[in-house]
Amino acid sequence: MNKKTQRMNMLVEILKVRNFVSIKELASMLGVSEMTIRRDLKILEQNRIAENIYGTTVYNPAHTVTKSDNEYNFFTELEKQDTQKDSIGKFAASLVEQGDIIIVDTGTTTERIVPHLPTNKDITVLCYNINVLMELRRNPGVKMMFAGGYYHSNTQMFESAEGISFIRSLRAQKVFVSAAGIHEGLGVTCIENYEVPTKRAILKSSLEKILVADSSKFDVVRSAYFCDLSQINTIVTDSGLSDEWKHRLTAMGITLHLV
């Protein structure tokens, strides 16, 4: 582990224990300049691990951070994925129209839709994920609904029979759904079985089904199946998608947006 990765890991651990620490204090504790700390914190803020509130850094408990001894995973690749996901989220948000009721699924890509949602279009958002909820609270122009239940820390998701019943009682113009795997023959999948009933409910309650996922999810199969590709109307992904998949999705009549 090089010094930069080691410092980033130490920084996260300090924030977890202390919750909030000034930049000046962090620089003193880690023996580096305040400029270095500001650069490190910018990365953590971009990945929703911490927030800067009036010059003080506050740890975001809704974000699960895993230590890594590999700089590629923790730093380089994280930034790369972050850029892709934010571009996908920004474009997906542009699909929201005046007066829309939308549902935002749990996931690290769907979460990126929320900061880009318009503030002046009288939209209503239903969610059931603590990270999505925390982002929504920053947008006073958006009406919020939350389907609660049992909390799952690995996905930041709340789910319950009551929450699913609440979702089924609503109707939305658009749902933005996430996936851990997308396969032509085996459909759209996620990692956890407990996600499946909620995902199926949001798809059934929405007029337009919009799948948001980076290109690394294609040709991947996870254990928990929740829908066929034919049930999806629109896909927003990055430009790394293969030509084979582009032709396949177009032939299926799915609207494809590459960002």
Q: 49-76 pLDDT, tens per residue?
A: 777 766 667 777 666 544 444 443 444 4
Query: H helices of 95-218, where?
Result: 130-136, 161-168, 196-204
Tell me the three state secondary structure of residue 255. Answer: strand
Most confident of 114-123, 153-162, 223-232: 223-232
- Structural tokens at position 96: 């929201």
Is residue 49 within 8 A of residue 12, CB to CB? The reply is: yes
Of the candidates 158, 66, 60, 145, the residue with the CA atom closest to the CA atom of residue 106: 158
Alpha helix segments (H runs only) across 98-254: 130-136, 161-168, 196-204, 243-251
100/39 same-domain check: no
CATH assignment of the domain containing 235? 3.40.50.1360
Q: Are 34 and 23 in contact (CB under 8 A)?
A: yes
Examine residue 66 and state whether it is found in any structural domain, yes or no. Answer: no
Position 151 in a domain: yes
Average pLDDT, the chain: 87
Residue 71: its H or E element:
helix 71-71
Q: How far apart are CA 256 and CA 213, in angstroms?
A: 12
pLDDT for the residue numbered 55 = 62
What is the average pLDDT across 71-94? Answer: 70
Residue 70 inside a domain? The answer is no
34/91 same-domain check: no
Residue 241 banded pLDDT, cuts 50, 70, 90: very high
Domain co-membership, 53 together with 113: no
Name the more confident of 98 and 77: 98
129 and 238 inside one domain: yes
Confidence class of residue 91 from pLDDT cuts 50, 70 and 90?
A: very high
| Residue 22, domain extent | 3-59
**Residue 51's closest CA among 118, 138, 116?**
138
Helix/strand/coil percent split, the chain, to 5? 40, 25, 35
Task: Quote the CA–CA distance of 167 and 12 in Å, as a whole number.
Answer: 36
pLDDT tens-digit map of 167-207: 999 999 999 999 999 999 999 999 899 999 999 999 999 99
What pLDDT is stored for residue 59 in this prediction? 76
Per-residue confidence (pLDDT) for residue 71, from 0 to 100: 41
CATH code (residue 50): 1.10.10.10
pLDDT score for 224: 94
Instruction: Report which of residues 20 and 195 the model is more confident about.
Output: 195
